[in-house]
């Protein structure tokens, strides 16, 4: 089972919030996940991002792949 760190959509119509999760590659976008790693609020004043970086690094050490979108979000946190 391959694991990826990706976004899962939450929130209301036209007001999305996303949770950053570690989930199986084969699962649905909003399906079951292994661990919740953070949140992303794109409609907030300053694209608010909350991430547990220690948990992300732990999953990457186990072989989880980060999706392109989550990679860009993590890069903005690092800056």
Nearest-angstrom CA–CA distance, 35 and 49? 17
Note the pLDDT tens digit of each residue in 15-69.
999 999 999 888 777 788 899 999 999 988 777 899 999 999 999 999 999 999 9
In what helix (H) or strand (E) does residue 66 lie, and over which residues does it extend? Answer: strand 65-66
Q: Which domains does the chain have, with CATH numbers?
A: 3-78 (3.30.1320.10)
Q: What pLDDT shows up at residue 28? A: 77
User: Which of 61, 52, 66, 58 shows the shortest CA–CA distance to 23?
Assistant: 66
Pair 73, 12: CB distance under 8 Å? no
pTM of the model: 0.87
């Amino acid at each position: 089972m391959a694991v990826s760190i990706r976004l899962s959509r939450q929130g209301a119509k036209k007001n999305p919030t996303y949770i950053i999760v570690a989930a199986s590659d084969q699962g649905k976008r909003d399906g079951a996940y292994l661990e919740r790693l953070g949140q992303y609020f794109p409609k907030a004043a300053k694209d608010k991002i909350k991430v547990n970086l220690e948990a992300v690094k732990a999953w990457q050490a186990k072989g989880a792949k980060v999706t392109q979108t989550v990679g860009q979000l993590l890069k903005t946190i690092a800056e």
